[in-house]
Amino acid sequence: MHYKLNDGWLDPVRRLSSPNCDLRPQGVEIDLLVIHNISLPPGKYGGPWIDALFTNTLDFDVDPFFNELQETRVSSHLLIDRNGNVTQYVPFQMRAWHAGESCFEARTRCNDFSIGIELEGSDDSVYEEIQYQHLAAITLKIMAHYPRVTGDRVVGHCDIAPQRKTDPGAAFDWQYLHSLLSHKK
């Protein structure tokens, strides 16, 4: 998996622009990578619902859970689905709305200085090998382009918002991800 980074966009990946982003604060450098999980409806995989959520086109009548998301305006830079397909919603130089209220090393508003990657999954569902492979390749590309993002600055949503978030969950194998990052360097 060889990715190229061009003007904040990864190639070759599917692009679907989200309106849920804005400019990062002036002078703020990207120095954090946040791993999330998502499934819509919860625990179900596949379908157009994540794209719809990130583009504000979710049909709230499709599933009762979707009603809870009517006021939600979120995005992420990337999604890696269960089959290893990668979609980019927000260019890296823009601020995606993925972390919410958050804090890392006494700095709040992690969206200001982070890149968010969603894995299609749930806290207690084993992630697919292909997801780890793509995540590692993309993480290494991000680390090369944004050298302040180092191995100890690749964290879970649970690490920056522990009072309200648990993802990527107990099923995520951090040790395996770090071994892939070390092996591929």
67-106 tens-digit pLDDT: 999 999 999 999 999 999 999 999 999 999 999 999 999 9
- Considering the segment(s) 4-184 as one domain, its CATH architecture is 3-Layer(aba) Sandwich (3.40)
**What's the mean pLDDT when you consider all of the chain?**
96
Q: Is 123 exposed, middle or buried (0-12, 13-18, 19+ CB in 10 A)?
A: middle
Computed from CA positions of residues 149, 151, 156, 158, in that sequence, does the dihedral angle turn out positive or negative? negative
Report whether pLDDT(55) > 90. Answer: yes
Query: pTM higher than 0.95 for the full model?
Result: yes
Report whether pLDDT(185) > 70. Answer: no
Q: How far is it, in rounded angstroms, from Cα 114 to Cα 104? A: 10
Among all residues, which ones are annotated catalytic? 118
Which helix H or strand E contains 144, and what residues bound it? helix 129-145
Computed from CA positions of residues 47, 181, 10, 71, in that sequence, does the dihedral angle turn out positive or negative? positive
Identify which has the larger pLDDT, 184 or 145.
145
pLDDT value, residue 183: 81
Confidence of residue 35 (pLDDT cuts 50, 70, 90): very high
Tens of pLDDT, residues 118-142:
999 999 999 999 999 999 999 999 9
The percent of residues in the chain predicted with pLDDT above 90, rounded, is 98
Q: How far is it, in rounded angstroms, from Cα 13 to Cα 9? A: 9
Confidence of residue 1 (pLDDT cuts 50, 70, 90): confident
Report whether pLDDT(184) > 80. Answer: no
